[in-house]
Homo-oligomer: A and B are copies of this chain.
């Protein structure tokens, strides 16, 4: 039986074994994840945050293995096929991420979520592997009868989140984001095919929810990240617009099919080659463009690319209430007046948006606690944790990002 031993600074040595798992890891679709960073451009704030989706997928698979071993030890029946398929499901859960997602998830494609593409790609792989991923697909998509296996892959307290919080915390250096993954895993149990957490694990779960919330504000929604992401998004949009008007703009070969027209989910179904084309994309395509566009004759594209490369980012203002449209208008006017841009150009140099953070969604797929007396309870109702309820409040913030006119 083939195996891989990987040296992971987060967990030490990771060992993955099994011919099918080995085959999937070796596959170009999976190797592509080496070239997609987990946190896009977070290294503009946290210079160590360069880890990849590849690394996260391996780490999550390692945690999944520990989890399944622990559940088996608690007496839950997990067949060999289920065991391997659940590991494969977490290994492949991010296979559909495109370059610099989430930043570009809605810019490169038209409303196609990465989960959807993951699903398409796993189906595609399944064909190539003669149906050996069929159970994996069921677990990934939630149609498998042992629902807890799906919940381990995707729920409000899943292995995906346990790994990425610890990994992002490790590589950013934001130590407060650390979650007690091993402890939570030991507390996982199964009741009636549903994943539950033993009562004595509630403080670790609470800590997990709080850590996730903290990482959102401290890392994922950091002002500087928002600013750098905004610049990339505007650059892509500008390039697309220029191309649509016949203006010559360089794009990499791999990106071409995605710049020529709007790609919707239906496109992937209608054109089989499009999915294949998607698997050629990675972060390097965006950076190759940005680097080329620094020489662009278009002032906007030129400015945006150079701003990004030289890290002269947009100024970002955060508001608790939606800011007045006037404010944005004034800023655009200023840019036009002082720098001589047209209105059709200045809209790329001053953008607004909203970010929201819901630490715990109390209305569905609740995290269930298994009390010592055997009863189940939503964690938000656990007597000791008055604050989980308040974590389920959605916190919204508004931002305005604009080029700094000196």
Contact = CB atoms under 8 A, between A and B. Distances in A.
A67 interface: no
A235 to B, nearest CB: 15
A47 interface: yes
Contacts of A193: none
A247 interface: no
B48 A173 contact: no
Contacts of A10: 48
B34 A43 contact: yes
A13 B254 contact: no
A13 B186 contact: yes
Nearest to A385: B390
A51 interface: yes
Nearest to A3: B73
A contact residues, range: 35 or more
A192 interface: no
B58 A54 contact: no
Interface string A1-17: 00001111110110000
A106 interface: no
Most buried by B among A7, A34, A383: A7
Interface in A155-179: 170-176, 178-179
Contact of A176 (B204, B386, B391): B204
Contact of A52 (B50, B52, B171, B186): B50
A308 to B, nearest CB: 10
Contact of A8 (B28, B35, B173, B180): B173
A141 interface: no
A282 B180 CA distance: 34
Nearest to A288: B288
Interface string A180-216: 1011001000000000000000011011001101100
Given A8-B173, A47-B58, A386-B393, A284 B292 contact: no
Contact of A284 (B55, B180, B284, B311): B284
Given A31-B311, A48-B8, A291 B284 contact: yes
A48 B176 contact: no
A26 interface: yes
A387 B390 contact: yes
A253 interface: yes
A284 B282 CA distance: 12
A341 interface: no
Nearest to A8: B173
B31 A47 contact: no
19 contacts: A5-B186, A6-B47, A9-B170, A28-B310, A34-B311, A47-B55, A175-B180, A176-B207, A203-B213, A203-B217, A217-B384, A253-B292, A285-B288, A287-B288, A288-B288, A288-B291, A386-B391, A386-B395, A389-B390
Given A176-B179, A207-B211, A287-B288, 13 more contacts: A5-B186, A7-B48, A9-B48, A9-B172, A43-B52, A50-B52, A175-B178, A204-B214, A207-B210, A253-B295, A284-B284, A284-B287, A284-B291
